[in-house]
Amino acid sequence: MRVAADPHALAPPPTPQAIAHRWRWAALLRRVFKVDVASCPRCKHPLQLIALIAEAAALSRILDHLGRAAPPPPEPARLPQQTECDFELQPIDPDSVYQAKPRQIASGVELLLDHQTMVVQDADVVKQALAQYRQHPSLGFSDCLILETAQAAGHEPLGSFDRRLGKLPGAQRP
């Protein structure tokens, strides 16, 4: 039984199909982004992969030797600290817990947007929704936020069974 320190050392050589499959990504990049990564940018001669440097320390030594600065290490993958706010965003109705008026809701959202230490996801979208809500307070802030989020994502028109929302630009009733 053979044992190798490197698990890839015992791997069989790649088949011609596997080699052809590896280069398909280059054809896709050329087709989609008009970038030919398989040819030299100066002389257009076909390039051949001769080494892959995956160890950060080795790459840093090479870049230092060439007089180039190593890029900073990537930030560790982690989710930002999040605080979830759950509050009633509808105008006064008998079932509403907080009995907030549209002006109060708009002021509350504006305070959240202007907060110094809190970060609001997609703040520009929320600002657009707030402007829409101020023009059409009978819709409710949630509906305005849904419409602006759909528009920002390019999902237009937004289908809605709500008659009032369906009348706004970017929304339609089925």
Domain presence at residue 73: no
- pLDDT tens digit at each of 174 positions of the chain: 444 455 455 566 777 666 656 657 777 788 878 888 888 888 988 888 788 888 888 888 888 888 888 777 777 655 454 444 444 444 445 555 556 788 888 888 898 888 888 778 888 988 999 999 999 888 888 888 888 888 888 888 888 888 888 888 888 887
Q: What domain range includes position 33?
A: 16-65
**Are 57 and 117 contained in the same domain?**
no
Give the pLDDT of residue 47: 82
Domain count, the chain: 2
Domain presence at residue 145: yes
Give the pLDDT of residue 78: 55
Domain presence at residue 33: yes
Domain presence at residue 3: no
> What global pTM score does this model have?
0.46
126-135: list long-range contacts, CB under 8 Å, 24+ apart: 128/152, 130/106, 132/168, 133/102, 133/105, 133/106, 133/109, 134/102, 134/106
**Are 60 and 113 contained in the same domain?**
no
**Are 110 and 158 contained in the same domain?**
yes
**Are 109 and 159 contained in the same domain?**
yes
Give the pLDDT of residue 2: 43
- Selection from 73, 118, 143 nearest residue 110 by Cα: 118
Domain presence at residue 45: yes
Residues 33/34/38/40 CA torsion (nearest 10 deg): -130
Domain presence at residue 61: yes
Domain presence at residue 47: yes
**Are 108 and 53 contained in the same domain?**
no
Give the pLDDT of residue 4: 45
Domain presence at residue 87: no
Give the pLDDT of residue 23: 57
Give the pLDDT of residue 103: 85
Distance between CA atoms of residues 59 and 65, nearest Å: 10
Give the pLDDT of residue 127: 92
Give the pLDDT of residue 131: 93
Give the pLDDT of residue 60: 83
